[in-house]
Structure 1
Amino acid sequence: MTATATAPVTPPAAAPAPPAPRPPRHRPRRLRRWLGNGLVQAFLLVVGLVWITPVAGLLLSSLRSAQDSASSGWWTALADPGSLSFANYASLLQNAGMTQAFWNTVLISVPTTVLVVVIAALAGYAFAWLEFPGRDWLFLLVVALLVVPVQVGLLPVAKLFGQLGLFGTIPGVVLFHVAYGLPFAVFLLRNYFAEMPREMLEAARMDGGGEWRIFTHLVLPVGRPAIASLAVFQFLWVWNDMLVALLFADSSSQPLTVELQSQVRQFGSNIDVLAPGAFLSLVVPVVVFLVFQRHFVRGVMAGSVK
């Protein structure tokens, strides 16, 4: 008997190896390298000096006497720092109109910011995670209100406030700012809250948490950067506003911006009052921004990097 020869079994061809993944691009490193360039740093330094020069000029002018300001420019104080003093600020504190206007600005800006943030946070959570009839249509109405300019509502609202007895009062100015600040605030917080993971909220509901508890103990802490950004934006807008206050506030409720404009119109050259008042109006928003800077940057950058 002859044995039959068997053909050798060839192993199956190996599947081609998948292509190696591309290494991730390190854009932040590139950006840091680009910003580390000496030419770029020099350019940024020049931009910063140009930006800070008016502020430095205002500060030096507020520390100079009226005679020195009338005879020479503020930059001459750099060669004679002994001529600077805080006498103008002492006089400013004795100016009843300026001090009353400063406190009026605080009484307008702080309640407006608090009311806008609280109402917008509640409405933003409702539009993002609560189901109720007409939710989408109401949100579209809020978005549509963003395109309505402030100037359109000045005269009709002024007439309405006159009938309600709110014209020329601080509550009237606050109510107007709250009404026109809410559409943007609701739009901003709703979009931020909607980006939160649904699983996180469902897990909280499964653990027995109610909507109010979820909102106060989960949504608000997570949404702190966006809320801080909104608070800074709203405070700066109201603090620096003059158009609304010029129309809706009278002489007893006008803020610092209107009082400064009135001082310019009445006296014209009283730089010893205008310069410290203007610098005081400038430094408060700067302090607020520095206090909330960390949360503000996180809120602005939220959603831009995945």
Structure 2
Amino acid sequence: MDNIAGKKSSLTWAVHISVVVLVALWLFPTVGLFVSSFRTGDQISSSGWWQSLSTQESQLSPIRIEGDETATGDAFVIEGTLISGDTTVSAWGTSSREPNAYEPGETVDLGDGQTLTVNDDSTYVLTGPETFEGTRLPRVFMTASSPPVWTVENYGTVLFTGTAAAGIGQAFLNTLTVSIPATIIPILIAAFAAYALAWMEFPGRALLVATVVGLLVVPLQLALIPLLQIHNTIGIGKGYLGVWLAHTGFGLPLAIYLLRNYMVGLPRDIIENAKVDGASDFQIFVKIILPLSFPALASFAIFQFLWTWNDLLVALVFLGADDDSLVLTGRLVNLLGSRGGDWEILATSAFVSIAVPLVVFFSMQRYLVRGLLAGSVK
């Protein structure tokens, strides 16, 4: 009696737990990336994003004392501030072996009559009986606490520095220039082809459907070099037209297959009645089929846009790797190599790269399931 139709499965709780786990696995890194994009590099490297709202205590990189000395009586003095900002020093030292040897405000004998005092506000006083000119001044190791720091400068640096080492503004525009036409063109072509394969009678239709299904398994890498040679022969090898056509060719099999399956499932009576009323195939396609097929069109648009937005291989092959034509994924690869320690720049760039796909997905996700189930239920 456990398999009675309509009875709720006893494993529903497992499905719910699995969904929660999958959502958490996706949500936590995204939220962490978003939070990190508004933090400074020092705070990112010293604490996790989940600690971004609390005061952080961390071991700072050693700082060498520098400044102009002044003569006071028989002593020479150098004064200054080691770090700026609202930071409180909790311990300090002059050796990497004992970085927390002294308390703030404690005066330490450095030898040769030299003394050093570091206060909790990171101000210091270095004194000595002889001039410090030509001598190597000591380094200071500090453990300090600092309040949360939030900034939008990361986005200004990333989006508005052009093609500089930290900027992705031009790459962002290049990616939009590639993704939008490369999504619209295959949808337009596939919609016409899908209607013909679904509702028009002509010789070889079944063979064309089988060919489309076969093209779904053609590896992308197998066609890149021959396609590039063809593009170079006709003069569109390195340019946006070439990459648009490449993405169109690689996306058409899935688009035609998906849209045809959906259109086949549309009510036949509507189309037959339209033909009886004198409507042409083009009028039926534009006024009836396209509006009814919007879920399938939106479903494919999501996949095609995500594919073209996150693509690196096709863009490098058909556009190149120079700064004027480099896409966002290529720019992020360069940032990993040139600014591997600037975590605030990397976090901001990565979040910008996923922000647009997230907007596209959530604005059209209600059509996704309906489009994926196209033709599965009669």
TM-score (norm 1): 0.83
Gaps of 5+ in 1: 1-23
Q: Out of 52, 63, 66, which is 1:77 matched to? A: 52
Q: CA deviation at 1:197?
A: 2.5
3-state SS, counterpart of residue 50 of structure 1: helix
Q: CA deviation at 1:86?
A: 1.4
* CA distance in 2 between partners of 1:165 and 1:266 (Å): 34
* CA distance in 1 between partners of 2:283 and 2:194 (Å): 16
* CA distance in 1 between partners of 2:337 and 2:308 (Å): 22
Q: CA deviation at 1:117?
A: 0.7
* CA distance in 2 between partners of 1:84 and 1:168 (Å): 42
Please tell me whether Structure 1 or Structure 2 has the larger radius of gyration of its CA atoms. 2
* CA distance in 2 between partners of 1:124 and 1:212 (Å): 13
Is 1:278–2:350 an aligned residue pair? yes
* CA distance in 1 between partners of 2:376 and 2:332 (Å): 40
Change (3 A) 1:123 1:40: closer
**What code does the residue aligned with 1:279 have?**
F
Is 1:55–2:35 an aligned residue pair? no
More strand per residue: 1 or 2?
2
**What code does the residue aligned with 1:274 have?**
L
Is 1:95–2:161 an aligned residue pair? yes
Q: Out of 307, 310, 313, which is 1:237 matched to? A: 307
Q: CA deviation at 1:79?
A: 2.3
Is 1:176–2:246 an aligned residue pair? yes
* CA distance in 1 between partners of 2:149 and 2:334 (Å): 28
Aligned residues: 278
3-state SS, counterpart of residue 175 of structure 2: helix
Is 1:26–2:3 an aligned residue pair? no
Larger RCO, structure (CA 8 Å, separation 6 or more): 1
Is 1:199–2:269 an aligned residue pair? yes
Q: In 1, are the aligned partners of 2:262 and 2:371 still within 8 Å (CA)?
A: no
Is 1:296–2:368 an aligned residue pair? yes
Q: Percent identity?
A: 42
Q: In 2, are the aligned partners of 1:168 and 1:253 still within 8 Å (CA)?
A: no
Q: In 1, are the aligned partners of 2:261 and 2:375 still within 8 Å (CA)?
A: no
Name the structure 2 match of 1:224: 294
Q: CA deviation at 1:174?
A: 1.2
Instruction: Please say which of residues 199-208 and 154-163 is displaced more in the overlay.
Output: 154-163
Instruction: Please say which of residues 116-125 and 39-48 is displaced more in the overlay.
Output: 39-48
Q: CA deviation at 1:61?
A: 1.8
Name the structure 2 match of 1:262: 334
**What code does the residue aligned with 2:349 have?**
G
Is 1:253–2:325 an aligned residue pair? yes
**What code does the residue aligned with 1:48 have?**
V
More helix per residue: 1 or 2?
1
* CA distance in 1 between partners of 2:190 and 2:344 (Å): 41
Q: In 1, are the aligned partners of 2:265 and 2:374 still within 8 Å (CA)?
A: no
Is 1:133–2:133 an aligned residue pair? no
Change (3 A) 1:40 1:212: closer
**What code does the residue aligned with 1:26 have?**
G
Instruction: Tell me the alpha carbon deviations over residues 137-165 of structure 1, each in whole angstroms, 9 at most, x when there is no partner.
Output: 22222222111100001111222222333
**What code does the residue aligned with 2:354 have?**
L
Q: CA deviation at 1:40?
A: 5.8
Instruction: Tell me the alpha carbon deviations over residues 164-223 of structure 1, each in whole angstroms, 9 at most, x when there is no partner.
Output: 332332221111100110011111111111122322211110011111110011111111
* CA distance in 1 between partners of 2:11 and 2:377 (Å): 19
Q: CA deviation at 1:128?
A: 0.9
3-state SS, counterpart of residue 83 of structure 1: coil
Is 1:166–2:236 an aligned residue pair? yes
**What code does the residue aligned with 1:289 have?**
F
3-state SS, counterpart of residue 292 of structure 1: helix
Q: In 2, are the aligned partners of 1:60 and 1:84 still within 8 Å (CA)?
A: no
Instruction: Tell me the alpha carbon deviations over residues 6-63 of structure 1, each in whole angstroms, 9 at most, x when there is no partner.
Output: xxxxxxxxxxxxxxxxxx9336xx26x864x5x7645543442232121122112211
Change (3 A) 1:196 1:25: same
* CA distance in 1 between partners of 2:28 and 2:254 (Å): 33
Instruction: Please say which of residues 109-118 and 54-63 is displaced more in the overlay.
Output: 54-63
3-state SS, counterpart of residue 154 of structure 2: helix
Gaps of 5+ in 2: 56-146
* CA distance in 1 between partners of 2:17 and 2:294 (Å): 35
Q: In 2, are the aligned partners of 1:240 and 1:257 still within 8 Å (CA)?
A: yes
**What code does the residue aligned with 2:247 have?**
H
